[in-house]
Amino acid sequence: MRRLLTLLAFAALCAPLAQAQVHSDQETKADIERHRAMAAAHTAAAQCLESGKDAQQCMKELQAACKNLAIGKYCGMKHAH
């Protein structure tokens, strides 16, 4: 419980900092392109699974497509199973 309260307090302190960040038009355009590339990688992962390939193979392809694009090994997204 104490850990949760500490985390919530930290998040509350950081929230204004995150909102205050302003991007230039060029940075915004780069963000848009990254989001489109991540969406394309996830679409390809869905198509991979639909084709009947092994889930591990599709995950490897997703990770390769997202290298240097998103944070984490799930290309910026992770869902529950």
Q: Which of 67, 72, 62 is nearest to 41 (CA)?
A: 62
**Would you list the DSSP string of 37-54?**
HHHHHHHHHHHHHHTT--
pLDDT at 3: 73
CA distances from 53 to 40, 41, 48 (A): 18, 16, 6
User: 28-77: per-residue pLDDT in tens?
Assistant: 999 999 999 999 999 999 999 999 999 999 999 999 998 888 887 778 76
pLDDT at 36: 94
Burial readout 19-37 (b: 16 or more C-beta within 10 A, e: otherwise)? eeeeeeeeeeeeeeeeeee
Q: How confident is the model at residue 9 (pLDDT cuts 50, 70, 90)?
A: low
